[in-house]
Structure formats: structure tokens, C-alpha cells
Chain A
Amino acid sequence: EAAVTQSPRSKVAVTGGKVTLSCHQTNNHDYMYWYRQDTGHGLRLIHYSYVADSTEKGDIPDGYKASRPSQENFSLILELASLSQTAVYFCASSDRDDTEVFFGKGTRLTVV
């Protein structure tokens, strides 16, 4: 069964600190995504990647970086965490551009 694993599942970070959210998929999928979920905004795409060693900006990339060192791993990096980045973050993967997207269970990030 397709699996996307996120770590950590929750994190409290200090304003101005660096945060790294990790994602690992065992689906052998080429496409990976990072979404942010906030009440009233649904799922918003931050960064995505369709091949290892390459990342693309999504719809709300400001304040975030991404890294795809291998097909299986995709990280989201907040170099200087801010209060406004408190949210739930989801990693996802998919095969082709017309197929189902598989999501991880999410990471709840609280910036204080």
C-alpha cells in the first residue's frame, strides 16, 4: 500500500528559529508536494518536485525552502520561522499527472 510518512508529527518552534519537516515515501512516485492547511484556506501548495534534485515553487513559497535529495525524500525548510507559519503541513506524492495524490498524516507546527 502506498505510504507517505512525515516527521515529526508535531513541533513547537521558536520565532526566528530554523525548522525542517521531513517526508519519506515508499510509493516509487516521481511527484512530491508540500501543502499547508489553514482553516478557511483549504490546502495550499508551497513547493513541489517532479524529479530528485529539483524543486519548484508552488502557490505560496515565500518563507519556505524545499529539498529533494532522492526520489523518496522531500523536506520543507523554514529558515526563520514566524508566527504566521503556524499551521498543519502535509506532504504528498503521486505517480503521473492524472492520478491520485497520496497524503501523509500531517505535521502540526506551532511557532511561539
Chain B
Amino acid sequence: KAGVTQTPRYLIKTRGQQVTLSCSPISGHRSVSWYQQTPGQGLQFLFEYFSETQRNKGNFPGRFSGRQFSNSRSEMNVSTLELGDSALYLCASSLPGVGAKNIQYFGAGTRLSVL
């Protein structure tokens, strides 16, 4: 079974631009979560999508948004990029429901650098 796939692996943008990151979950997984990882703030939860709906949300400004498609693939968009948005963005997928016991499987991340 293929793991969680994130594209691209690396991205360089300039301030003010926008960026879209993609995440393909493990086959059969319907929940996709996004995290921002920085040396200063560690791993912070951005949001979770399930069945094309945002189910949980972290404390990030509205410039950070996401969506999920009917095939469970998810995209994350950051508009009006700031230098502080430079980070590793991780995506994780899991089976839904209590029975799945909330194990999240992570992708290798997208390293975003904002110049």
C-alpha cells in the first residue's frame, strides 16, 4: 500500500505570493490533517478534513485554507505569503472513527521557503 504522498517536496516563493500544497492520503483513508513544523513553534495543527468538510481547525489566520476532494486528496493554500510562513508542512491521513484508534500516518512533508 502506498503511503501518504506530498507534492512538491520543496518550494521557494517570495513574500506576497500564494502557494498550494498537495497531499494524497493512503488508499481508504478519509481523514487528512495538516501541520506546520518550525524550529521555534514545533509542530502545530492547521486543520483536518473529512469527507470534503473541515472537521477541526487550529489557530492560524485565514490566509491558511484547505480543501478536500471526493477522492480524499487534499490541498492546502497559503495566500499573501510572509517570511514567517517558511516551514515544513506535514500532511497526515487516518481512517475515520473511533475504531480506527486515531493513528495518523504522515507524509514526508513539503519544505516551503519564503524569500
- Whether both chains belong to one complex is answered with no
Which A residues fall within an 8 A CB radius of B? none
Which B residues fall within an 8 A CB radius of A? none
